Amino acid sequence: MSPGSRPWSGVQRSMSNWAKIRVATVFLLPAVLSVILLRLWPALLAIHTSLLAPRAISYSLENYIYIFTDPVFLNSVRVTLVFALIVNPLQVAIALGLAILMNNKLPMTGLWRSAVLLPVAIPQSVSAVIWAAAYRPDGLFNSLLQAVGIGPQRFVTSPDQALASIILVVSWIGVGYWMTMLMAGLQDIPKSLYEAATIDGANAWQRFRYVTLPQLRRPLTFVLVADTVANFLVFAPVSILTKGGPQGSTDLIMNQIYTNAFVNGDPGSAAAATVVLILLVLAIVLVQFRLMSDRSER
């Protein structure tokens, strides 16, 4: 089509770049301001604060050196990593299993799907409050365990069980959301691929291994990354159920930052930990971009 036959491109061209920039500025201004005020400024402030040691007037790395030699912070890093290594694969595996299980046209499935998704809608703090009551010595879970012949457990008050209890809560909250994302991915897989695999004699496991998994690469990568980021930021359940205890066994990094800033009154260390957390999250997200764009180039 020749340019002259499109009246609009004439209009577009007749608008000078300056006019377009002016209009775009008006449209973009509130959003750009909110990005600067709500993301960049606090991030820069965190960097600034993190480089100022207590009572110092010049920048130094003292706060970073301090937190990385502080056994309490190191414990929190260790707990956060252990938590991430368990909770992320666990949630993605369950979400994938549920997505495959629920991806059918059987009666009532839509209803059950909503049931799994419901906890996502509830505020995390409210879920934590409900589960705190359920974890009580005389609460719902001990009653259920008793009914199947298992003695009472201590759950969030036991250093051995507290982290697992937190993992259970956040998984109950989050799995439905990731399941929904993966179901959208499953529905994008062409049916013909399954038919071809069946004709070639592939069994259910082989269809999953050689059709579903490779076809789901993109949504699975997205879910794994988004889930990882979300789980690095878990705060409300820890703050409400355990406050990081017992014996630091659930002291996830967000709880550590909060404690440093508002309980110990050590803003420098809190800011240094915040910067570490932001860098960690951004690194993970950038890896995701790499993984996802590799795929589209091929």
Q: Which of residues 161-190 bind another protein (CB under 8 A)?
A: 172, 176-177, 180-182, 184-185, 188
Shortest distance (Å) from residue 127 CB to another protein: 8
> Is residue 142 part of the contact set for another protein (CB under 8 A)?
yes
Q: 102, 92, 39, 67: which is closest to 230 by C-alpha? A: 92
> Is residue 27 part of the contact set for another protein (CB under 8 A)?
yes
Shortest distance (Å) from residue 68 CB to another protein: 18
Task: Find the binder of another protein among 53, 224, 257, 272 (CB under 8 A).
Answer: 257
> Is residue 222 part of the contact set for another protein (CB under 8 A)?
yes
Interface residues for another protein in 272-291 (CB under 8 A)?
274, 277-278, 281-282, 285
Task: Please provide the size of the chain in residues.
Answer: 298
> Is residue 129 part of the contact set for another protein (CB under 8 A)?
yes
> Is residue 239 part of the contact set for another protein (CB under 8 A)?
yes
> Is residue 258 part of the contact set for another protein (CB under 8 A)?
yes
Task: Find the binder of another protein among 161, 218, 245, 246 (CB under 8 A).
Answer: 218
> Is residue 246 part of the contact set for another protein (CB under 8 A)?
no
Task: Find the binder of another protein among 74, 85, 93, 101 (CB under 8 A).
Answer: 101
Distance CA 272, CA 62 (A): 10
Using the contact rule CB under 8 A, the part of the chain among 59-67, 74-82, 83-91, 231-239 near another protein is 231-239
Distance CA 172, CA 25 (A): 43
Q: Apex CA 5: angle with CA 4 and CA 9, to 5°? A: 65
Contacts 24+ apart (CB under 8 A), 117-126: 117/176, 117/177, 117/179, 117/180, 118/176, 119/172, 119/173, 119/174, 119/176, 120/173, 120/174, 120/176, 120/177, 122/173, 123/236, 124/170, 124/173, 124/236, 124/237, 125/236, 125/237, 125/240
What x-and-dash track marks residues 144-163 binding another protein by CB under 8 A? x-xx----------------
Q: 222, 276, 233: which is closest to 84 by C-alpha? A: 233
Task: Find the binder of another protein among 85, 93, 122, 150 (CB under 8 A).
Answer: 122
Shortest distance (Å) from residue 199 CB to another protein: 13
Task: Find the binder of another protein among 49, 80, 88, 165 (CB under 8 A).
Answer: 49
- Total of chain residues touching another protein, rule CB under 8 A: 102
First to last CA, the chain: 30
Do residues 161 and 155 make contact, with C-beta atoms less than 8 angstroms apart?
yes
